[in-house]
Amino acid sequence: MLVTGGAGFIGSHLAEALLELGSEVRVLDDLSTGVRANVPAGAQFIEASVLDGAALSAAVRGCSVVFHQAAMVSVPRSVAEPAECLRQNVMGTERVLSAAVDAKVSRVVFAASGAAYGDRPVLPCREDAAPAPVSPYGMSKVAGEMLMSVFSRQYGLSTVSLRYMNVYGPRQRPDGPYAAAVSAFASALKAGRRPVVYGDGRQTRDWVHVSDVVSANLLAATSARRLAGEVVNIGTGRREDLLAVLAALGEAMGVRPEPQFGPERSGDVRDAVADIGRARELLGYEPRVDLRRGLAELADSAGAVRA
Ligand SMILES: NC(=O)c1ccc[n+]([C@@H]2O[C@H](COP(=O)([O-])OP(=O)(O)OC[C@H]3O[C@@H](n4cnc5c(N)ncnc54)[C@H](O)[C@@H]3O)[C@@H](O)[C@H]2O)c1
């Protein structure tokens, strides 16, 4: 099995789960946002970009499944550097698919994104709605899904795209201007700083625990169905706003958060929640981790600040 981006947040949890199941695991990662320490012991690590053809071919050789998690993941960075985003996320995905065809891989599972929906007023988001991304990042993820489908059709490769909603859990990076909300909140609360909320905090998201995303990947990899480019939402089907998440996290950490409000971020969507009917039907997926439980566990791993 190959996990691209396996030194990152989601990829490292996936690599760990695959090792626990007894699989041989290779991780290919350029460490642009991932860290070497995230790669679980027992996985073979290749430090390279998916854009490095020779390294990628060597990494894919002999693998039955490729989990393509590597990407430029930051929406604001994609707005600042659209060409680089397309190079990493679209060209990078094409390279992974071509290498998979050459190596006769049996399936590629792609980390797509709920960013494909853009700022849709019709909720919950269903996969049959026309994509309407509002950022280069979202657009690059839709292009990746299309590549998955085209490579199935043209080269007979089995592929599936999992549109993750807002993933949270341990090992998500809390640092930098592009950090995901939950990890940035946890890190600020732990350090006794005021968490920064961009916009009014009433934006809603479908928060899905990383262990549920890992389960979805394992189900997608092992499904006996003939998967050929299907797009599948992976979320919880519930939404909660940022201020409610912050309050729940504060409660779990034993502090009363006093948010500091910043400007709305360009490219951010207002509301999002997934319809997960297709994931249930096609993959037998069922989210297991309730948001409050997931946040409480995160608070434990972040170290509670209770006296
Ligand atoms: N975290 C979320 O809420 C979320 C939501 C939707 C989709 N996704 C997708 O899930 C995947 C994993 O995201 P994450 O949250 O774990 O982010 P992450 O930044 O922790 O992981 C991405 C990993 O990819 C690596 N990488 C980036 N460009 C690379 C390249 N060209 N070649 C090789 N490695 C490269 C990074 O070093 C990093 O380790 C991404 O494709 C992302 O778009 C994440």
Q: Does pLDDT of 141 surpass 60?
A: yes
169 lines ligand 1 (CB under 6 A): no
What residues does 205 pair with on adjacent strands? 240
Residue 109 Cα, ligand 1 centroid: separation in angstroms?
A: 14
Q: Does pLDDT of 29 surpass 90?
A: yes
2-165+210-234 and 168-205+238-302 agree in CATH topology: no
- What's the rounded Cα separation, in Å, for the pair 29 and 24? 17
140 lines ligand 1 (CB under 6 A): no
Identify the CA nearest to 113 among candidates 169, 151, 153, 75.
75
Residue 5 Cα, ligand 1 centroid: separation in angstroms?
A: 6
| pLDDT single digits (tens) 221-278 | 999 999 999 999 999 999 999 999 999 999 999 999 999 999 987 667 788 899 999 9
**Nearest CA residue ID for atom 28, ligand 1:** 71
Residue 95 Cα, ligand 1 centroid: separation in angstroms?
A: 16
Residue 255 Cα, ligand 1 centroid: separation in angstroms?
A: 31
Catalytic residue annotation: 137
Mean pLDDT calculated for residue range 141-154: 98
pTM of the model: 0.95
**pLDDT band at 196, cuts 50/70/90?**
very high
**pLDDT band at 212, cuts 50/70/90?**
very high
Q: Which of 75-84, 155-164, 170-179, 217-226 has the lowest mean pLDDT?
A: 170-179
**pLDDT band at 299, cuts 50/70/90?**
confident
With beta carbons less than 8 A apart as the criterion, state whether 184 and 242 touch. no
Q: Which of 105-109, 169-173, 225-229 has the lowest mean pLDDT?
A: 169-173
Query: How is residue 158 annotated by DSSP?
Result: E
Question: What does pLDDT average to over the chain?
Answer: 93
Architecture of domain 2-165+210-234: 3-Layer(aba) Sandwich (3.40)
31 lines ligand 1 (CB under 6 A): yes
What are the structural domain ranges in the chain? 2-165+210-234, 168-205+238-302
**pLDDT band at 305, cuts 50/70/90?**
very low
Residue 175 Cα, ligand 1 centroid: separation in angstroms?
A: 15
One DSSP character per residue, 176-241 reads: STT--HHHHHHHHHHHTPPPEEETTS--EE-EEEHHHHHHHHHHHHH--S--EEEEEEES-S--EE
- Which atom belonging to ligand 1 lies closest to the Cα atom of 12? 16
Mean pLDDT calculated for residue range 115-124: 83
Mutate-to-test residue for ligand 1 from 10, 26, 56, 85, highest number of ligand atoms within 8 A of CB: 10
189 lines ligand 1 (CB under 6 A): no
10 lines ligand 1 (CB under 6 A): yes
What is the predicted pLDDT for the residue at 243?
96
Long-range contacts of 128-137 (CB under 8 A, 24+ apart): 134/267, 134/269, 135/75, 135/78, 135/79, 135/266, 135/267, 136/78, 136/79, 136/82, 136/85, 136/86, 136/267, 137/72, 137/73, 137/74, 137/75, 137/77, 137/78, 137/79, 137/85, 137/89, 137/113, 137/267
What is the predicted pLDDT for the residue at 304?
46
Mean pLDDT calculated for residue range 53-69: 98
Q: What is the CATH number of domain 168-205+238-302?
A: 3.90.25.10
What is the predicted pLDDT for the residue at 267?
62
Please, what is the angle between helix 92-102 and helix 136-155, to 10°? 20
Percentage of residues of the chain with pLDDT beyond 90? 87
